[in-house]
Amino acid sequence: MQRKNSFLLIACCLVVVLVPGAYAQKNPTAEQLVENHLKSIGERDAISRISSISLNGTAEINFIQGMNARLAGASTLVSEGSKLGIVLRIGHHSYSGDHFAYDGKSVTVENFDIGMKSPLAEFINSYNKIIKNGMLGGVFSRAWQLFDTKGNRPRSMTVRKNKVEGTELYELEYRPRDDHGDMKIFLYFDTETYRHVRTDYKVKNNSIAALEIYDNLTEKFEDFREVGELTLPHGYTLIFQKDGDQPTFLGHWIIKAQEIAFDAPDIDTKIFKIE
């Protein structure tokens, strides 16, 4: 009887120790993360049926460091196939806004009225593969890399959990097949919904070789709502920071969608190329 009780005690201890571990949530694989992300948008058939997406809304530009201004205007984003156009119309006498365009062959960006590219435009112009490869714009781009990872064949996808601005997210370090040089790309997903909420593009600033200083472009996606059969963000912010923790430039380009439409018949193709 004593031996039997001892076995029962050991068994109970094993249950206490092992069961929590057995039910502990594991990080998804990269493939599982991508699949769950796509489900968070909608059914695959509903996603694939859409040939173009058009967004119209407000625009707000906040120059915080290096320049000082807070300006408002309107925004338009259109994607069709691999093409993408993002326009922020401000109309200020010294800054009319920004226009980033890809026509399927080349990337063009609009200049300041004073003849200079904005720091964000300069970055996108220099690292234009983020448009060509369907990274910029996230799910707003019909060429979004995660729509077809088998066809796009990324070099690598590595998943872990990471806390970003106080929130724990799934982090997917993503290396596209078409090499982006020294750029590192990190995609972030909500751990409950698997919605894509953020992308970070980090490029080593070679002008300060002895320090780990990066130029950073961050895309944030928020305010998710249903549009037809899909669930899409209605808040889209681009944040560009130059020179790391002590920036020489910091600016926010904020888009808030007022209308999102699919397969519009009257797309002005000029949005995809700046003449």
Distance (Å, whole) CA 96 – CA 110: 9
State the pLDDT confidence band at 211, using cuts at 50, 70 and 90.
low
Residues 95 and 75 sit within 8 Å (Cβ to Cβ)? no
In a domain, 80, yes or no: yes
State the pLDDT confidence band at 196, using cuts at 50, 70 and 90.
very high
- Give the residue ranges of DSSP H helices in the chain: 2-23, 30-41, 44-49, 119-126, 129-132, 149-152
Read off the pLDDT of each residue in 231-260 and give the average, rounded to a whole number: 91
% of the chain with per-residue pLDDT over 90:
71
- Which tokens belong to 203? 């490029």
What are 58-85's pLDDT values in tens digits? 999 999 988 888 999 999 999 999 999 9
Evaluate if residue 21 carries a pLDDT over 50.
no
Neighbouring CB atoms inside 10 A of 142's CB total 20
Say what the pLDDT of residue 68 is: 86
In a domain, 156, yes or no: yes
Q: What is the distance of C-alpha 163 from the center of its chain? A: 17
In a domain, 22, yes or no: no
Average pLDDT of the chain, as a whole number: 87
Neighbouring CB atoms inside 10 A of 35's CB total 16
Nearest-Å Rg of the Cα atoms of the chain is 22
Does this model's pTM top 0.85? yes
CATH number for 176 = 2.50.20.10
In a domain, 134, yes or no: yes
Q: How many domains are there within the chain?
A: 1
> Who's near 248: CB < 8 A, 6+ residues apart?
65, 66, 242
In a domain, 12, yes or no: no
Distance (Å, whole) CA 105 – CA 151: 19
Q: For residue 107, what are the domain limits?
A: 27-272
State the pLDDT confidence band at 15, using cuts at 50, 70 and 90.
very low
Say what the pLDDT of residue 250 is: 92
In a domain, 16, yes or no: no
DSSP per-residue codes, 5-60: HHHHHHHHHHHHHHHHHHHSPPPPPHHHHHHHHHHHH--HHHHHH--EEEEEEEEE
Phi-psi region of 97 (alpha: psi -120 to 50; beta: other; left: phi over 0): left
Length of the chain: 275
Of the two residues 3 and 199, the one the predictor is more confident about is 199
In a domain, 6, yes or no: no
In a domain, 3, yes or no: no
What are 152-171's pLDDT values in tens digits? 999 999 999 999 999 999 99
Residue that the structure tokens 């929590």 belong to? 20
Distance (Å, whole) CA 58 – CA 89: 9
Residues 185 and 199 sit within 8 Å (Cβ to Cβ)? yes
Residue that the structure tokens 């060509």 belong to? 132
Distance (Å, whole) CA 268 – CA 109: 17
Say what the pLDDT of residue 210 is: 63
